[in-house]
Structure 1
Amino acid sequence: MLKLLKKLMIPVFALIFTVIILLFSASYTVRFTETAVKTTFGSANEDSIIDEPGLKPKWPYPIQSVTKYDKRMRIVQTRSETVQTADDFQIIVEGYLSYRVTDPLKFFRAFSNAGDRAQDHFAKAENDVLRDLLRSALGETSKYEMEDLFTSQSGASVIPQLEESVYELLVKGGSGGQPLADYGIDISSVGIDRIVLPEETTSAVINRMGANRDRLAERYESEGRSQARAIEAEAASQADRIRAFAQRRADEILAKGEQEAAPYLAQQNINPDLAVFIQNIKLMREAMAKKFTLIFSTSDYGMQLFDPEVLKRTQGEIPSPKPQNDDADEVRRTGDE
C-alpha cells in the first residue's frame, strides 16, 4: 500500500503543478488603476480592451496574451534646451508634461513593436514621441522677448501664455505632425519649470534692466514734477480765490461796521470831551473789574503821607507836594500878572 502511494505521489504532484501552471497562464488580474489589451495571436480589436478590474480568463500563451497599462498620470521631463528669444537673447529652458493613456488599443497599436512589456511601450512613447514634441514645442519661446518673460510687475509675465501655446502645439502633434489623440494619449498639463540665463545673457539682461529702471525712474520723476507743478498752480489759484473772498468779506464787514457806527460817532461829535470822558470811564470799569495793582509816586498829591522819610522831615506836619516845574512856572506867571 505504501509503495502504491509513493508511486502515485509523483504523478499527483506533477498533475497539481500542471494545473496550477495552466490556471496561471489561463487567467490574469486587472487592477483598478490599470486597463488591459488582450490579443489573440498578436492581433487586437475593440473587444480586446478590458477596463473592468478583477480576475479574468484567457487562453494560454501563445494563443492569447495580455498587456496591462497604468491609467494613472505620468510625467515626462525634457533636458535643458537652448532657445533664442525674439530679441536675440540665449536662454536655457526646461519643461515637462503630464499625460495618461486614454485609448489603450491605439496606444498598443502605435508602440507594440517596441516589445512585449508595457514599460517598453511607455518608453518608446516618451522617448520617441513626447520628448521630441515637447522639445520642439518649447521653440515657441522664440516668439517672446526677454522683458516679456521676466518682468518686475506681478502677473505681467507671458510664461502662462507660453505654456498654453506649447500645450496647444503638443495636442496637435507639432507643426504638421500626428495628433496625440491618434496615439491614445491625452496631455493633462504642460509647464516650464526652469529658465536659466547663460553668463553673457545674464550680464546683458542686468544692463538692460538697469537702463529700463533708469528710464522708468526718469519718467516717474518727470510725471512727479508735472503733477507737482499742477498741484502748486491749483493751490496758488485756490489761495488767490480765498484771499480775494476774505478781502471782499472783510470790506463788507468794515463797511457795515462803519455804517452802524456812524450814528454813534455823530452823537459823540456833539460833545467830544464828554465822549472821551465816557470812554475813559468805560475803560477804567473794564480794567478794574479784575484784580489789578496801581503804583503811584510819592510826589503826587496826597501820596507824601505814605512816605516815612517825608514825615520825619516835616516833624508831624502834613506835607504838601512840591509844585512841578510847569506848575511853578504857571504860579510865577500868575503872580507877575
Structure 2
Amino acid sequence: MEDALRRLRERFGNLFGGGGGNGGGSGGILVAVVAILLAWLILDSWSVINARDVGVVQRFGKKTRIMSPGFNLKWPRPIETVTKVKIKDVRLLADSVRMLTMDENIVSIDFNVQYQVSDAEKFLFRVKDVDSETVKQAAESAVRQVIGGSAMDTILSGQGAELVAETKKVLQATLDSYDAGVAVTEVNFQSVAPPHEVKDAFDDVTNARENKQQTENEAQAYANKVVPEARGEAARIKAQAEGYRAERIARAEGDADRFNQLVAQYKAAPEVTRRRLYLETMQQVLRDSVKVIDSSNGRSLINLPVDKLAPGAGVLVQNPDETTRAARGGQQ
C-alpha cells in the first residue's frame, strides 16, 4: 500500500512538477486524467448486493429501482447512488416504561420488540430515524395503550400472552399508519411487576388472590361431588313420585270403573245389588274380627275364632262375662 501511494505521488509529481517539455507534460496530464476517469467509471458502474440485502437506487436523488442480491450495473456517482438495506436481519429494540393501569396502579414493564424491514423504500424515505426513534416511540405508545386499558389484576394474573398479542397488533397498526416499511415479528414482556416501593403490598394482594383461587377450587370440587348426588336423589324421588302418581291414577280409574259397573247393576236389580254389597262388606269386616256377637235371639252370644286365638285360649264360654275375659286374655 505504501509503495502504491509513493508511486502515485511520484506520478502526480511528474505530471504537475515538470520534467520534460511543455508538450510532453500536457500530454502526460491528459493521459493520467483520462486513465483515472476510466478507472473510476469502471469501479463505480457496478454494485454488489449481499444475499440478505437489497439496494435502493437513486438517480439525482430520486428513487428509480431496487437492486436484487448479486452484481448490478448502475450509472456512476453522482448520477446514481445505491443505499443498501438489510431486509432479512431481525432488528431488536429493548426498552422499559413505568405507567398507570386502568385501575390507577403503577406497573413497571421491561419489553423488547423484534422487527424486520418489509419495504426498503418506505423504510428509507417515508419516516425519519425509523430505527432510533420511530419504532421506539410507537412501541412505547402501544404498550401504554394496552397496559393503560387493563386492570392490575389482569396484568399480573398470567394473561401476558393476550396482552403481548394486543400490543403487537397495536404497534403494527401504528407503524403501518406511518408507512414505515417495518414488520413487527415479535413482542416480549420480559418483566411485568409493581415498583419496588409498593412490592410488599402487591405481594400481599397476590397471596390473597391465590388463597381466593384455592378456596374457589375447593368449593368447585365440593360442588362437583355434591351436585351429582343431589341430582341423583332428586331423580330417584321424582321416579318414586311418578310411580305413586301412576299407581293412584290406576287405582282411581279402577274404582271408577267398578262404581260404574255397580251403578249399572243397581239400576238393573236394586235389591239384589244392595244385598250383595251388604254381604260382601260384612264378609270383609268380619274376616279380620277376633270376636262376633250374635244377638238375633234376644241374648248376647259371643263366638271366638279358635284358629286366631293364642294356644290354650280357644275355649267357647257361654257366660258373657267369662267369654269377654277369655277374649281379652287371648288378645293379650
Matched, 1:125 2:130: yes
Write the deviation string for residues 18-67 of structure 1: whole angstroms up to 9, x where unpaired.
4332212222111111111111110114xx1112x222222221111111
1:36 to 51, 55, 60: 55
* Aligned position for 1:263: none
Match of 2:286 in 1: none
How much does 1:73 deviate?
3.0
The alpha-carbon distance between structure 1 residues 217 and 13, as it changes in their structure 2 partners (threshold 3 A), is same
Q: Hey, what's the Cα distance between the residues in 2 that align with 1:226 and 1:184?
A: 55
- TM-score between the two structures when normalised by the length of structure 2: 0.53
Aligned residues: 207
Residue matched to 1:193: 190
Q: Counterpart of 2:168?
A: 167
Question: Equivalents in 2 of 1:168, 1:214: separation in Å?
Answer: 34
Q: How much does 1:217 deviate?
A: 4.8
Conserved 8 A contact 2:156-2:193? no
Secondary structure of the corresponding residue to residue 113 of structure 2: strand
Q: Is residue 117 of structure 2 the alignment partner of residue 107 of structure 1?
A: no
Quick one: distance in 2 between partners of 1:49 and 1:125?
A: 19
Shift of residue 208, structure 1, vs aligned partner: 0.8
Q: CA, structure 1 residues 66+223, in 2 after alignment: closer, same or farther (shift >3 Å)?
A: closer
Change in 2 beyond 3 A, CA 1:224/1:49: closer
Mapped contact 2:45–2:74 kept (Cα < 8 A)? yes
2:149 corresponds in structure 1 to: 143
Displacement of 1:209 in angstroms is: 1.9
Instruction: Give distance in 2, aligned partners of 1:57 and 1:232.
Output: 84
The separation in 2 between residues aligned to 1:108 and 1:229, in whole angstroms, is: 68
The aligned residue for residue 97 of structure 2 is 81
1:97 to 113, 124, 130: 113
Change (3 A) 1:19 1:179: same
- Shift in alpha-carbon separation, 1:132–1:210, aligned structure 2, 3 A: same
Tell me, which stretches of 5 or more residues in structure 1 are unaligned? 115-123, 152-156, 234-337
Alignment of 1:199-218 (within 5 A): 199-218=196-215
* CA apart distance, 1:17: 4.5
Matched, 1:49 2:61: no
Partner SS, residue 173 of structure 1: helix
Cα distance in structure 2, aligned partners of 1:109 and 1:227: 63
Higher relative contact order (CA 8 A, sep 6+): 1
Structure 1 residues 202 and 29: alpha-carbon distance in aligned structure 2, compared to 1, 3 A threshold:
same
| CA distance in 2: counterparts of 1:88 and 1:25, whole angstroms | 61
Amino acid at match of 2:57: K
Contact 1:36 1:50 in 2 (8 A): yes
The equivalent residue for 2:139 is 134
1:66-125 Cα offsets, whole Å, 9 max, x none, are: 1110112332324210022233321111222222222222223214xx6xxxxxxxxx10
1:205 corresponds to which letter in structure 2? F
Q: Is the 8 A contact 1:91 1:201 kept in 2?
A: no
- The amino acid across from 2:77 in the alignment is Y
**Identical counterparts, % of pairs:** 19
Equivalent position to 2:80, from 64, 72, 82:
64
Contact kept in structure 2, 1:86 and 1:144, CA below 8 Å: yes
Whichever residue aligns with residue 164 of structure 1, its letter is A
Q: What CA distance in whole angstroms lies between the structure 1 residues aligned with 2:207 and 2:153? A: 12
Unaligned runs of 5+ in 2: 1-18, 231-332
Residues in 1 aligned to 2:215 and 2:45: alpha-carbon distance in whole angstroms? 81
* Range moving further from structure 2, 136-145 or 213-222: 213-222
| Structure 2: distance between partners of 1:171 and 1:63 | 36
* Distance in 1 separating the partners of 2:226 and 2:72: 86
Q: Call closer, same or farther: CA 1:16–1:201 in 2, change over 3 Å.
A: same
Instruction: Kindly indicate whether the alpha-carbon contact (under 8 Å) linking 1:92 and 1:195 is maintained by their aligned counterparts in 2.
Output: yes
Residues 58 and 80, structure 2, Cα contact 8 Å, conserved in 1 = yes
Q: Distance in 1 between matches of 2:110 and 2:207?
A: 27
Query: How far, CA to CA, are the matches of 2:75 and 2:222 in structure 1?
Result: 88
Amino acid at match of 1:24: L
9, 21, 27: which is aligned to 2:46?
A: 27
CA separation in 2, counterparts of 1:171 and 1:231?
50
